[in-house]
Amino acid sequence: AVQNGDMVHDTSQEKTAKRMSNLQKALVGYCNLPVIAQAEDDEIVLDSDVTNPSATHHTQEKEPIRMVPRGLFIHGNVGTGKTHLMDLFYKITPIPTQRKRRVHFHSFMQDVHQRIHHLKKQDLATLGRNYAIDTCQERNPIHRVATQLASEVSLLCFDEFQVTDICDALMLSQLFSVLFSRGTVVVATSNRPPSTLYEGGLNRSYFLPFIDLLGRHCIVHDMNANTDYRVVTTDGIESFFYVSSSDSSMEEYRRVLDQAFSFDRNTDDDNNSNNHNRLQQEEEELVEIKVAFNRTIHVRKVLHRHHSSGGGDIARFHFNDLCNTELGSSDYRAIGEQFQTIIIDDIPRLTLTDHDQARRFITLVDELYEANCALMCCAVTSPETLFIGRELPSGDDAGSGNKEGIETVVGEAFGIDVAQSNGLTVGGLASVQELSFAFRRAASRLKEMTSRHWWEKQGVMLLSS
């Protein structure tokens, strides 16, 4: 591909690919089920030692357990090829499909929380409320969920590993210690090295053991690259799909889409003959989508397209319907799975001040990117200038109380999420700080997803003539 000119040589990607190639070789014929069996035997022996210290154990000699390969934690700047390399690694790694899983870290944690919720409901229904106060390991829902996951997969690949929520931060050490002890190999990509994950977060001292755990079981690799290939591959490519308020085509953009989604279908035959009006293949309808925790979301503006016209169904949203309401990653994932083309109107500038809507929009972009959706946006400005933010205090200083406007020492000592003079809580500080990094990733992905190149790659009919 490099010789043909389809790709360019990149030293940073080459070094990362070699790391991955070495891991692939170590994973040939690997399965963590024998490791799980050994771990369960060890737990049985440990339990019997506690209940009957004088017991004598007669164990037959066992076959040696194969060494568990160390995983990879790849970090670097946005658009440098981390996700692309990991997808290639996942695709060709010689582990059966049913024994490996590739997932966005948001989605993984949503799955973990849903499993914990389901287990707790089961326990409450069958064993009553007193069961909840039993703290032994085999009844711990986090331990049980981690045991389930380890029995399902030998290889876990995470895209965009980031920690912004204190609930996630406090459970990760326990969750991953079980996964690692049962032989699950982890490969992850992130914009940040492990040492800066959950930086500035509430009670970060409880999160630090996870960083040490990650370092023992994964090789940490810095991409050490600055080229954003999403920008490089879309620069100079004509695109109708991202229209800013200053663009001369704004009026045409609104006219075409308003006509396509209009309830009045009695339009001119001449108008129906051009490419824009190929959208009008069927009537608009209200669609109900089932999401996590037995909830549903309703999409008002939906058009179904015939397979022959190219691409799947289209949904159109106002920004407020997606990001100024109580929606999360599981909701956005459901939308991405339901519709191949998403149109979002009236996206404002996004700042750290309105961090909730900024965070939701970034999560939305991540989930739609994972689902390979074609995206059209109407925003006040271009992707590069859509996000306005500044770096927040980080590292030890962020939690030491000597930064102006950040009072963390007293609250952290008592595990209290203290309100700050800048309007944030300590617990929210890590999440908002993460936005400074996430802004760059989202802008890069927006530029790619709204490009003509991306739409053609996904096989979606172009709207422009």
pLDDT in tens, 338-359: 998 899 988 998 887 788 888 8
What is the pLDDT confidence band of residue 202, given thresholds at 50, 70 and 90?
A: confident
34-38, 241-245, 301-305 — which is least confidently predicted? 241-245
User: Are the C-beta atoms of 454 and 233 separated by less than 8 Å?
Assistant: no
Side chain identity at 372, as an amino acid letter? N
Element (H, E) at 56: none
Instruction: Tell me: pLDDT of 239 over 90.
Output: no
Q: Which residue has the higher pLDDT, 286 or 448?
A: 448
Q: Which of 311, 373, 365 is nearest to 336 (CA)?
A: 373
- Enter the pTM of the model: 0.72
Would you state the pLDDT for residue 133? 57
**Amino acid identity, position 398:** A
Query: For residue 247, what pLDDT band results from cuts at 50, 70 and 90?
Result: low
Sign of the C-alpha dihedral computed for residues 172, 178, 179 and 181 taken in this order:
positive
**Model pLDDT, residue 407:** 37
Which band of pLDDT confidence, cut at 50, 70 and 90, is reported for residue 82? very high
For residue 203, give the 3-state DSSP assignment.
coil
Mean pLDDT is lowest, of 21-35, 260-274, 308-322, for 260-274
pLDDT recorded at residue 431: 62
As a residue count, the chain comes to 465
CA angle 85, 89, 93 (to 5 degrees): 175
Lowest mean pLDDT across 99-103, 384-388, 461-465: 461-465
Mean pLDDT rounded to a whole number for the chain: 77
More confident residue, 214 or 250: 214
Q: Which residues pair with 288 in a beta bridge?
A: 298
Q: Ranked by mean pLDDT, which of 148-152, 326-330, 459-463 comes out on top?
A: 148-152
Measured between alpha carbons, how far is 254 from 346 in angstroms, rounded to an integer?
11
Kindly report the number of other CB atoms within 10 A of residue 268's CB atom.
8
- Looking at per-residue pLDDT, the higher value among 361 and 78 belongs to 361
Q: What is the pLDDT of residue 148?
A: 96
- Tell which wins on pLDDT, 230 or 130: 230
pLDDT tens string 95-114: 999 999 999 898 899 899 99
pLDDT in the model for residue 31: 95
Confidence of residue 177 (pLDDT cuts 50, 70, 90): very high
Does residue 158 surpass a pLDDT of 80?
yes
Output the CA angle 109-193-158, nearest 5 degrees.
Answer: 35
Predicted pLDDT at 261: 63
For 100, the 3-state DSSP assignment is strand
Calculate mean pLDDT across residues 371-392: 80
What is residue 275's predicted lDDT score, i.e. its pLDDT? 41
Per residue in 210-225, is it b (16+ CB within 10 Å) or e — as a string? bbebbeebbebbebeb
Could you give the dihedral angle defined by the CA atoms of residues 303, 305, 309 and 312, in that order, rounded to the nearest 10 degrees? 100
For residue 42, count CB atoms less than 10 angstroms from its CB and return exposed for 0-12, middle for 13-18, buried for 19 or more: exposed
Three-state secondary structure call for residue 296: strand
Distance CA 254, CA 72 (A): 46
CA–CA distance, 404 with 420 (Å, rounded to integer) = 10
pLDDT of residue 272: 40
> Using an 8 Å Cβ cutoff, are 309 and 281 in contact?
yes
Q: List residues bridging with 347 in a β-sheet.
A: 379
Q: Provide the pLDDT confidence category of residue 405 given band limits of 50, 70 and 90.
A: very low
